[in-house]
Structure 1
Amino acid sequence: MKANKSSKANVKRSGFYDYTVRNENERSTIAHTEPAAHAKRRKLLNQAFTEKSLRASAEFMSKHIDRWLEILVDDVQQNGWTEPKDAANEVEMLVWDILGDICNGREFGMKEKGKNMLKLVPHASVKQMQYGYPVLKMPFAPFLRALSPLGVDEFMAKFKPPEIKLYEHFTADAVAQRLARFRSGKDERQDMFHFICKAKDPETGLPAFSDRDIIAEARLLTVAGSDTSSVGMTGALFFLAKYPERLEKLRREIDSVFGTEEIVAGLKVKSCEYLRAVIDEVLRICPAGLAEMPREVLPGGIVINEEFYPAGTIVGTGVWCDNDNKEVYGDPEIFRPERWIPSPENPPEEISRIKAAFTLLGSHRTTVLE
Structure 2
Amino acid sequence: MAFFALNLNLSTAALVLLAAVALVHLVPWLLDPHGIRSYPGPWLAKFSDAWLGWVAAHGHRSEVVHELHKKHGTFVRLAPNHVSVADPDAIQLVYAHGNGSLKADFYDAFVSIQRGLFNTRSRAEHARKRKIVSHIFSQKNVLEFEPHVRAHIRALVAQWDRLCDLGRKGLEGTEGEGGWVGRDGRVWLDCLPWWNYLAFDIIGDLAFGAPFGMLHACADSAPVAVSHEAAMKGYGDGAAPEIEHFPAVQVLNSRGEYSASMGVLPPHWRPLARRIPWFRRGNQAVQRLAGIAVAAVAKRLASPTDRTDLLSKLQEGKDDAGNPMGRPELTAEALTQLIAGSDTTSNSSCAITYHLAANPRVQEKLQAELDDALGAGPDGDPAATFEQVKRLPYLEAVISEALRVHSTSGIGLPRIVPPGGLVVAGRFFPEGAVLSVPTYTVHRDADAWGADADVFRPERWFERDEKTLQRAFNPFSFGPRSCVGRNLANLELLIIIGSILHRYHFVLEDPGKNFETREGFLRKPVECKVGIKRRHE
- What TM-score, normalized by structure 2, do the two folds share? 0.59
Name the CA shift for 1:161/1:132 in 2 (closer, same or farther; >3 Å): closer
Other structure's SS at 2:215 match: coil
Amino acid at match of 2:253: V
RMSD over aligned CA atoms reads: 3.0
2:396 paired with 1:276: yes
Tell me which residue corresponds to 1:210.
326
Q: What CA distance in whole angstroms lies between the structure 2 residues aligned with 1:109 and 1:163?
A: 21
Q: Deviations over 1:278-332 (max 9, x none)?
A: 2111110111122221111110110110000111111102211110111221121
Check conservation: 2:197, 2:219, Cα contact below 8 A.
no
Q: What CA distance in whole angstroms lies between the structure 2 residues aligned with 1:167 and 1:62?
A: 26
Name the CA shift for 1:158/1:359 in 2 (closer, same or farther; >3 Å): closer
Name the CA shift for 1:339/1:242 in 2 (closer, same or farther; >3 Å): same
Other structure's SS at 2:102 match: strand
Tell me which residue corresponds to 2:475.
360
**Worse-superposed segment, 168-177 or 277-286:** 168-177
Name the CA shift for 1:359/1:313 in 2 (closer, same or farther; >3 Å): same
Tell me which residue corresponds to 1:336.
457
Quote how far apart the aligned CAs of 1:142 are: 4.5
Check conservation: 2:258, 2:279, Cα contact below 8 A.
no
Tell me which residue corresponds to 1:97.
201
Amino acid at match of 2:436: G
Tell me which residue corresponds to 1:179.
301
Quote how far apart the aligned CAs of 1:114 are: 5.9
How many equivalent pairs are there? Answer: 347
- What TM-score, normalized by structure 1, do the two folds share? 0.83
Other structure's SS at 2:453 match: coil
- The structure richer in strand per residue is 2
Quote how far apart the aligned CAs of 1:120 are: 2.1
Mapping of residues 162-241 of structure 1, within 5 Å:
165-182=287-304, 187-201=305-319, 203-207=320-324, 209-241=325-357
Tell me which residue corresponds to 2:259.
132
Max Rg structure: 2
Give structure 1 stretches of 5+ with no counterpart: none
Tell me which residue corresponds to 2:123.
35
Q: What CA distance in whole angstroms lies between the structure 1 residues aligned with 2:202 and 2:259?
A: 26
Mapping of residues 1-370 of structure 1, within 5 Å:
1-2=90-91, 3-23=93-113, 26-75=114-163, 76-77=166-167, 78=169, 81=185, 83-113=187-217, 117-118=221-222, 120-139=247-266, 141-142=267-268, 144=270, 165-182=287-304, 187-201=305-319, 203-207=320-324, 209-259=325-375, 263-266=384-387, 268-330=388-450, 331-341=452-462, 346=464, 350-360=465-475, 362-363=477-478, 366-367=482-483
Check conservation: 2:99, 2:418, Cα contact below 8 A.
no
Q: Deviations over 1:36-73 (max 9, x none)?
A: 32233223211211233322211111111111122223
Amino acid at match of 2:339: V
Check conservation: 1:100, 1:107, Cα contact below 8 A.
yes
Q: What CA distance in whole angstroms lies between the structure 2 residues aligned with 1:234 and 1:116?
A: 16
Name the CA shift for 1:131/1:258 in 2 (closer, same or farther; >3 Å): same
Other structure's SS at 2:211 match: coil
Q: What CA distance in whole angstroms lies between the structure 1 residues aligned with 2:424 and 2:298?
A: 46
Percent of matched pairs sharing the same residue: 26
Other structure's SS at 1:84 match: strand
Quote how far apart the aligned CAs of 1:170 are: 3.6
Quote how far apart the aligned CAs of 1:222 are: 1.0
Q: What CA distance in whole angstroms lies between the structure 2 residues aligned with 1:115 and 1:283?
A: 27
Name the CA shift for 1:368/1:35 in 2 (closer, same or farther; >3 Å): same
Q: What CA distance in whole angstroms lies between the structure 1 residues aligned with 2:196 and 2:334?
A: 18
Quote how far apart the aligned CAs of 1:213 are: 1.5
Check conservation: 2:258, 2:283, Cα contact below 8 A.
no
Quote how far apart the aligned CAs of 1:125 are: 2.0
Q: What CA distance in whole angstroms lies between the structure 2 residues aligned with 1:52 and 1:111?
A: 28
Other structure's SS at 2:416 match: strand
Amino acid at match of 1:281: E
Other structure's SS at 1:360 match: coil
Name the CA shift for 1:310/1:108 in 2 (closer, same or farther; >3 Å): same
Quote how far apart the aligned CAs of 1:157 are: 11
Check conservation: 1:10, 1:298, Cα contact below 8 A.
yes
Other structure's SS at 2:423 match: strand
Check conservation: 2:199, 2:345, Cα contact below 8 A.
yes
Amino acid at match of 2:117: T
Q: Deviations over 1:258-287 (max 9, x none)?
A: 446762224x43322222222111110111
Check conservation: 1:296, 1:315, Cα contact below 8 A.
yes
Other structure's SS at 1:29 match: coil
